[in-house]
Amino acid sequence: MDILYINTDGGSRGNPGPMAIGVVFYNSDGVVIHQYKQCIGEGPNNEAEYRAIIQALKILKKSDWFISNNLAEKEVICRLDSQLVVEQINGRYKVKKDHLGKFIAEIKELLSDINFKISFTYVPREQNKLADKLVNEALDEQK
């Protein structure tokens, strides 16, 4: 089984305030194979978390890893340090804010044509340090 790990993080300074996202792709050996950071405007922290996942899925779908054959032999594990967002994506927690529902809908749309196993799991912040670092770098560079 070919496993790809994607760590994402989103943050907002001021909540709401300036937002940024960080995305890190790891191969099955834990080696970083791609990283991405971007400032994404103003808004709350949860919005940044969702937008990080959306950007990660967009990057995934354009990657050689996704385009290659044998998708049945592949698995993607998305790791986030926001338990709330993980539980909302997995459908175990209700999305109470309407504007966040559009992000869930966009994620579901991006997932609709994926023909391999993809999961979203919570990890402690200590296991998401590089994605968090990218968020802070993007926010610092914006100044």
| Domain CATH code at residue 41 | 3.30.420.10
Domain count for the chain: 1
- What domain range includes position 49? 2-142
| pLDDT value of residue 86 | 96
- Taking only the tens place, the pLDDT of each residue in 15-72 is 899 999 999 999 999 999 999 999 999 999 999 999 999 999 999 999 887 777 666 6
CA proximity to 91, closest of 81, 101, 80, 78: 101
Q: What is the pTM of this model?
A: 0.94
In this model, does residue 102 exceed pLDDT 70? yes
Written as one string, the DSSP assignment of 117-137 is EEEEEE--GGGGHHHHHHHHH
In this model, does residue 13 exceed pLDDT 90? yes
Backbone angles phi, psi at 34, to 5 degrees: -165, 145
- Taking only the tens place, the pLDDT of each residue in 113-126 is 888 889 999 999 99
